[in-house]
Structure 1
Amino acid sequence: MNVPISITICGDGGCGKSSITLRLVRSQWTSEYDPTIEDSYSLTRRIDGTTYHLSLTDTAGQEEYRGMWASSNLGADAFLMVYDITSKDSLDALGYFDDLVNMEAEARLDNAERARKAGLDADELHSPINEKARTVPPVKIVAGNKCDLQDTRQVPAAVGLEWARKRGCGFMETSARLEVNIEETFALIVRRVVEARKLAAMGMMDNIALNARGMTKPLSPIPTREGEFDEKRLVGVRGPHLHGGRIRPRSGFWQKLRCW
């Protein structure tokens, strides 16, 4: 049986949430911006030898639509919080969503504590098919999208990484247009959800509580010389190498791709 994992994608309007989702689901990209109220998608991915059924919810980013968030969105196993590297305001906007997720995480820890005191079986309580349990705090990943737009970057990778690290989130930079770190980001989410479920099933809720707001180890940019970091080349990046603010294919293979 495929293992179910639910993921809510959130962030400010125009940061590329729908582009990331459609790139993953349909291998499509469009430059046209069509504000989303809410869209849902289902797909399967085989990761580390296990097949997962991913339920994705692409949510509204505009302030006027945020009140329409359903409680089911907050019941997700993981949250992908997206900002636009060319807009500092879009990174600041993630604070709103981060607060919502943190409150949900605290509520789940309270549920787990009450369940443990009631003597409920851990295997049943934390089963991935038990959607009503909601005792495992959600995983949080921050994605700095549009990393191909180096010339108009407003948020350095180090700034995005630090923002994520302070809030217990994993971190990636992505490009839906160039298909950079799209599959890798969702694979990271799956692995962190699996890790969280295992810790909970083993009764290690105290360890989870210590890092309840995210439960992910932030990914760092690749070190260069003398301990510096290359902000234009992050861990796990596939595709053209971003050099000098421009896109430079690493080999003839990339020149043949049609995802530009």
Structure 2
Amino acid sequence: MASTAGSSGPNNTFRLVVVGSGGVGKSALTLQWVQQYFVSDYDPTIEDSYTKQCFLDDSVCRIEVLDTAGQDEFSTMREQYLRTGDGFLLVFSITNRESLDYVRKLHRHIDRLRDRDDFPMILVGNKCDLEDERQISPEELQRVAAELHVPQLECSAKYRKNVDKAFHDLALLVKKFKAADRATTGAHDEIPDGKKKRKNCRIQ
């Protein structure tokens, strides 16, 4: 995904939120994608946002990325960004089993808040360069992703492995999700008191 100086309209502006427990490398992933450098030490209390313009399916998109604070559960902004984000990177560390449990809880919480079971999310196992410290196998990651019905991939912020792919794939999911919603707004309006569910917005 290359940066460009083009303009983008409101339908091509996507707000991606990077969530997960502290120390899993959320900021490292975000800064590696936005600014293309690796940061090993980062203030876990900082919550910051970045904007990047790039091509997605041959059109210019404006990507807003919210890098959430390490202690998400104590952030007063937590419910707001979970309610207003267009898509979520659920980041855990393959070296920390508790961090995987945490993002599974986040996934359930987002489903409840957004009242949908197909909201754009990708499960990201970061720190795959630390193979000797691995606690989550690739096979387990695949099983968990299948249970949650979300795409998955392993990343290394340090070596930039799959970093571009993670953000690109999530932005693509959001784009398809928004397009499907716009196409079916009328049909949704005719469905009283029911969840708006679509099953065709996944990356193949």
TM-score of the alignment, normalized to the shorter chain, above 0.5: yes
Unaligned runs of 5+ in 2: 1-6
Shift of 1:191: 1.4
Secondary structure of the residue aligned to 2:122 is strand
The one-letter code of the counterpart of 1:198 is: A
Contact preservation (8 Å) 1:45, 1:53: yes
- Structure 2 distance, partners of 1:37, 1:73, is 17
Q: Which has the higher contact order (CA 8 A, sep 6+)?
A: 2
Q: Which residue of 1 aligns with 2:119?
A: 138
TM-score where L is the length of structure 1: 0.66
**Within 1, Cα distance between the matches of 2:72 and 2:199?**
29
**Count of residues in Structure 1 that have an aligned counterpart in Structure 2:** 188
Q: 1:92 to 1:72 in 2, by over 3 A?
A: closer
Pairwise CA distance, 1:37: 3.7
- Shift of the 194–157 alpha-carbon distance from structure 1 to 2, 3 Å rule, reads same
- Pick one of 170, 174, 177 that aligns with 1:193: 174
Partner of 2:197: 209
* 1:137 Cα offset (Å): 6.0
Distance 1:35 1:193, change over 3 A: same
Provide structure 1 residue ranges, at least 5 long, that are not aligned to the other structure: 110-135, 220-260
Contact kept, 8 Å, 1:147 with 1:174, in 2: the verdict is yes
Partner of 2:64: 55
Deviation readout 1:48-87 (Å, 9 max, x if unpaired):
2111101111112326524541514421110001000011
Q: Bigger shift: 191-200 or 6-15? A: 191-200
1:79 aligns with 2:119: no
SS at match of 2:197: helix
Please tell me the residue identity of whatever aligns with 2:101.
Answer: D
Q: CA deviation at 1:172?
A: 1.1
Paired AA for residue 202 in structure 2: T
Amino acid at match of 1:197: K
Are residues 158 and 208 of structure 1, via their aligned partners in 2, closer, same or farther at CA, if it must alter by over 3 Å?
farther
Higher-Rg member (1/2): 1
